[in-house]
Structure 1
Amino acid sequence: MLYRAFYFLHLKPLTRVSVRMSASDRPTAVGLHFIPTRCHFDDTVQVIVRGLFPKQMVKLVAEVEDDKGMIFRSSAVHRATEHGEVDLNSSPSLGGTYNGTEPMGLFWSLGPLTPHNKFTWWDASRPVLVDVKVVSHERPEHVLAKETHQRRFMKEGVQRVVVTDGRIRGTLFIPPGPGPFPGIVDLYTLGGGPSEPRASLLANKGFVVLALAFYRYKDLPKKVDKLDLEYFEEGVRFLQKHPKVKGSGVGVISISKSGDLALSMASFLSGIKAVVTINGCCANTLFPLKYKDTIIPALMGDLKKVTLTEQGLLDISKAIPDPTANENLATVIPVECADCNFMFVASEDDMNWDSVFFAELAAQRLRDSGKENFEIVRYPKAGHFVDVPYMPFYPSGVHAAVGKVVTFGGEAKTNAHAQVDLWGRVQEFFHKHLDTGNAQHKAML
């Protein structure tokens, strides 16, 4: 008996040493944890790995499939602490799709396996499911742990209503509660379809939002050679008449081509109180715009000014000419006629066109009319697509007007930080100018 006791006393430390040498036969399971286990798309999540060996090197790999069937993937290499833990809130990535301490890096650095694709999500009622796994850095085929994180767009109680009213098409998002709430028309980029992710996330914050399509959607025309501002006027009136919408006026949020549409709506239509344009133009672009008996001609690009980047992508940033040149003055939108507040958002590395130049032109036009009803928000190193927080970076893709792959500019990490910063500014701007005197929105934040 004494011999057996002596044997087992010496066996235990020997066994512990052999386990430390074998990462595939660990004494406790590796755990991958999300805090919270599920959240909204614009919320942060804490990612923690526990049960590793001290100083063990591991790789975290995230993967998601969008509504077009495109696979997006990201990765980060981490070294565990003395306690065998990796916490993305404090542990820097040593390699992968991003570097440094970035708590949400696995999400915003998701990139398409097939290059030049934008993350697409049409139906905001369905959550995005992000699969994350922890693998051995030395043996990537060895999966130590894996979990799925659910990222939702709509909070509980938000209504999603498909709109087919008269000519207008789109999706309406209504916050829970009696209201009335401030209303926003959400216009997305060239392509004409609605952006349900942004609209639904704004509804979570206490706005009734109409994600308005204007072509290439359901029974709307697949192609257009001109746009009718009266169609957008119908959208504004539809929103204003809704019983859950405050009747004092609505806002408009836009990006890229829809930026000049938003400026045109503010300049020609009544009932617009606040406009956000993200990397838009101060002139009407690409299509003539008709409103009753008025037609604003289109500012067109000059293909001779298209060049190639070092990566072989088209650079169209200089293709749109100066709208203030004599021959282009008729395309400039008369923003001085608008009776609303503007937020001009401009990325300094926008390679679609010179958003900073266009924002400054619009602002100067307002100043020349004695107006200070605007603010300019600039983001160095951000690209053309500054979207909702943690939306995967979109540096290049097929341009709807060009029909070929172009560069949109920007640096992934800086662009991601710009998206988070802008999101807070957009909410504050709309609540300030659409929800004055109503404390109800504070409960939605």
Structure 2
Amino acid sequence: MASIAVSPPTSLVTDKVDIRVTGLGKQQPVTLTAAVQYSRDAQFQSHAHYAADSSGSVVCSRHAAVGGSFSGVEQMGLLWSLQPAAAQRVKRMIPRDVTKPLEVQLCVYDGHIDTRRGQDGVPAPLASCVVERRFIRDGVRRIVVREGRVRGVLYLPEEEGPFPGVIDMYGSGANFEHRAALLSCQGFAAFRLMYCNFDDLPKAETHLDSEYFTDAVDWFSSHSLVQPGGVGVVGTSFGGLLALIMGTLTDKAIARMEAHGKTNHQLLAYPGAGHLLEPPYMPHCKISFHPIPGAEVDWGGETRAHCAAQEDLWPRMIAFLRNSRLHSQL
């Protein structure tokens, strides 16, 4: 009898898992699927075609997919290739509540089929299981920050600290917290700095005050649970632009850059990647609604190259933040 198993069954979204199917016939063609019910009206799906080996097994880390959402040997392919169901409005699979794990249903079907066409004519799966993908570890502390006019959410690891500090920002009022939560799982005090559309902040970023960001840096860098020696900044989209600007807002930052000959940096280029680089194994968002133009925006990128960039970038970013902290930009 066929069975599908994932090890570990519960993990962070940034961690690899082992997906394998056993109990198949020799060289039996099968389809593996993944599905996430993101909300009542939104589902993300992927599928891949395989042929079982001589022992009747499929191991995603060793065996090549021969078609479907991706091809070749891709251990995490079923997860990074998840895409929105046809015609649904929600295009981006970002958690609204980082304390709630994503539940991914994995199924294996006999033959090479395309389950994206709906349930009509799709046979019952040979086996299935549910995997939990988490954005936060047990024990991580989430603290809403209201310090003077500074607003945001602080994530602290379970340990006593102090910790290296990182400020995290997204763009255009997108108050996502998943990256800050995941950074705390790497041992950082991660401050998700909000600058609009949160609490009593303005709804849009049309009138930003540079002193707001220096106030945030001053408060965060002096926090008792943040290690001295400077803090790092991570940003995406407009948040990335703000991160670059913040690196020039203090005399200390400029003095450090000049004193070190501007050598404390890395420049990474990822041909084929799109605009919205997320932590590894999260799906490539090709198109989504943007509130500023009030329309859908094409974020670019080719899915395989984009997801490979995410996998490569995350450990490099973590290492850079750890190694550069004592010579940090802020």
Instruction: Calculate the TM-score normalised by the size of structure 1.
Output: 0.67
The Cα of 1:88 is off from its aligned counterpart by 0.4
The Cα of 1:160 is off from its aligned counterpart by 1.6
After superposition, the Cα gap between the structure-2 partners of 1:223 and 1:67, relative to the gap in structure 1 and judged at 3 Å, is farther
State the AA in 1 paired with 2:105: D
Q: Distance in 2 between matches of 1:40 and 1:403?
A: 33
Over aligned residue pairs, what C-alpha RMSD do you find?
2.2
3-state SS in 1 of match to 2:126: strand
The corresponding residue for 2:128 is: 146
Q: Does 1:404 align with 2:301?
A: no
Q: Distance in 2 between matches of 1:88 and 1:265?
A: 43
After superposition, the Cα gap between the structure-2 partners of 1:178 and 1:372, relative to the gap in structure 1 and judged at 3 Å, is same
> Where does 1:149-168 land on structure 2 (aligned, <5 Å)?
149-168=131-150
The Cα of 1:394 is off from its aligned counterpart by 0.9
After superposition, the Cα gap between the structure-2 partners of 1:88 and 1:219, relative to the gap in structure 1 and judged at 3 Å, is same
Q: Does 1:76 align with 2:48?
A: yes
Q: Does 1:95 align with 2:67?
A: yes
| Aligned partners of 2:230 and 2:326 also within 8 Å | no
| Aligned partners of 1:266 and 1:339 also within 8 Å | no
Q: Percent identity?
A: 35
After superposition, the Cα gap between the structure-2 partners of 1:258 and 1:92, relative to the gap in structure 1 and judged at 3 Å, is same
The corresponding residue for 2:105 is: 131
Structure number with greater CO (CA < 8 Å, separation at least 6) is 2
State the AA in 2 paired with 1:109: S
3-state SS in 1 of match to 2:24: coil
> Where does 1:30-429 land on structure 2 (aligned, <5 Å)?
30-66=2-38, 70-113=42-85, 114=88, 117-137=91-111, 140-193=122-175, 195-269=176-250, 338-339=254-255, 371-429=262-320
5+ residue gaps, structure 1, are 1-28, 273-337, 342-365, 437-445
State the AA in 1 paired with 2:99: S
Q: 1:32-86 CA deviation, whole Å, 9 max, x = no partner?
A: 1001121111000010011111111111111113368521111111111111111
Q: Distance in 2 between matches of 1:122 and 1:64?
A: 14
Q: Distance in 2 between matches of 1:69 and 1:434?
A: 43
Q: 1:374-428 CA deviation, whole Å, 9 max, x = no partner?
A: 3210011111111100111011222333222232111111111111111011011
Q: Distance in 2 between matches of 1:396 and 1:435?
A: 38
3-state SS in 2 of match to 1:387: coil
The Cα of 1:430 is off from its aligned counterpart by 0.6
5+ residue gaps, structure 2, are 113-120
State the AA in 2 paired with 1:197: H
3-state SS in 1 of match to 2:269: strand
The Cα of 1:95 is off from its aligned counterpart by 1.4
Q: Distance in 1 between matches of 2:323 and 2:40?
A: 37
Q: 1:348-376 CA deviation, whole Å, 9 max, x = no partner?
A: xxxxxxxxxxxxxxxxxx9xx96334321
3-state SS in 2 of match to 1:406: strand
| Aligned partners of 1:92 and 1:100 also within 8 Å | yes
Q: Distance in 2 between matches of 1:212 and 1:391?
A: 22
Q: Distance in 1 between matches of 2:79 and 2:177?
A: 19
Q: How many residues align?
A: 316
